Structure 1
């Protein structure tokens, strides 16, 4: 004969909570899905759980400003879908000026810049790691503003030009015009900042869209030999060879000792 159970007595299976359903307490939050579970989403914000092995960790820095799209001037192969950090260093043992090496975060040389020692004009060439000329940078003479022009490889195909926005400047302000910009009423890019602090930013036209940022790097070579070394962060989908060329022109304009504009 079955015994009657009091109305307030819990059944045996109600006496303890299910192991997968912990009791709700103040401040309690359910655990996020883990990598082995089918509803795990590595792209979601789930504190405490890294992405799948081989997938880069989320970038803790603020989101990068968006541009209108990929910007290619020298070559599409120089547009990466992620930020590119470069070091542009003046060669410590080189004779003359305008010689630089450009390395990535692992110290690998990706570009070299070589100046023309015995040229009547200020000129330097940006080359890839194999020594192929990518762009020739040449100062244009007899202009009201100090102006540089960039040509594809070692040809006469003009890619872009750079000039000071005004003759007298107390801060860095350069305007960049693509060869297709015939009117030159509005610049395609601009470089602003403080050359004295070696801190400059490359913008898209007259907008506030940031394409790249430059800052001074201090190392043993810069201390012993007085050679400049710059750290440059190029934002995603921006031609980083083009940005390197701009930084070299920026250097040459500010280090020109002729005193002539």
Structure 2
């Protein structure tokens, strides 16, 4: 059986430990931008806003509670859209649901608008019917997946891979107050050298895809 790779050959664990990954020769995984790649592990909290007309508004905080990124939903657009912004409110990505897609696919474009030349990546279910969440992520117009998201939102966690290498992990937090207020919160560990803006975008897309799945199941059960 093949074992899972990590960035550093001296690690023997099957699951790399983020706190031990900092080092002088970090391989960079930049998708949104090099400026979002830190040479050390980053712990983020992705928190859904309590008051959100679209249901897709998030604040992304660092371990000290400082705002890192934010996500805005667009409820009046013809297509479902999510906008990723930096600390200063500058627009980084426009994420939209792809129409007429069997595998629940989302596309992410640089800046505002959805021109094909600005397409950065596409993420969608690897198969139509799944017991466990599995997304394929394609950079640009690539035909073969460059990244994978594996796990299950309903099991409170997922892992993001580049090949067989773990580059980020997400855990969903449950507290009584969060459940009562409908305030979903996720903790995200981004490994050294990995684009945290890209990882946040994948977490948001995963949330959207799973929300659509839950809504369909609720309608079918009614």
Name whichever structure is richer in strand by fraction. 2
Tell me how many residue pairs correspond in the alignment: 196
Partner of 1:234: 190
Partner of 1:191: 149
Shift of 1:173: 0.3
Q: Which runs of 4+ in 1 moved over 6 A?
A: 65-68
Decide whether the 8 Å contact of 2:158 with 2:171 is kept in 1.
yes
Partner of 1:259: 216
Quote the Cα distance in structure 2 between the aligned partners of 1:221 and 1:203: 32
Decide whether the 8 Å contact of 1:89 with 1:228 is kept in 2.
yes
Shift of 1:126: 0.3
Partner of 1:7: none
Q: Does residue 138 of the first structure (1) align with residue 96 of the second (2)?
A: yes
Name whichever structure is richer in helix by fraction. 2
Deviations 1:28-74 (A, max 9, x none): xxxxxxxxxxxxxxxxxxxxxxxxxxxxxxxx977449999211010
Partner of 2:119: 158
User: Which has the higher relative contact order, 1 or 2, with Cα contacts under 8 A spaced 6 or more apart?
Assistant: 2
Any idea what SS the aligned residue of 1:70 has?
Answer: coil
Any idea what SS the aligned residue of 2:154 has?
Answer: coil
Q: How does 1:57-96 map to 2 (within 5 A)?
A: 63-64=20-21, 69-96=27-54
Partner of 1:102: 60
- Consecutive unaligned residues of structure 1, counting only runs of 5 or more, are 1-59
Quote the Cα distance in structure 1 between the aligned partners of 2:112 and 2:152: 31
Instruction: Please tell me the root mean square deviation across aligned C-alpha atoms, in Å.
Output: 2.3
Decide whether the 8 Å contact of 2:93 with 2:111 is kept in 1.
yes
- Consecutive unaligned residues of structure 2, counting only runs of 5 or more, are 1-16, 218-222
Any idea what SS the aligned residue of 1:248 has?
Answer: helix
User: Are residues 115 and 61 of structure 1, via their aligned partners in 2, closer, same or farther at CA, if it must alter by over 3 Å?
Assistant: closer
User: Are residues 164 and 65 of structure 1, via their aligned partners in 2, closer, same or farther at CA, if it must alter by over 3 Å?
Assistant: farther
Quote the Cα distance in structure 2 between the aligned partners of 1:200 and 1:239: 17
Bigger CA radius of gyration: 1
Q: How does 1:161-172 map to 2 (within 5 A)?
A: 161-172=122-133
Question: TM-score by structure 1 length?
Answer: 0.70
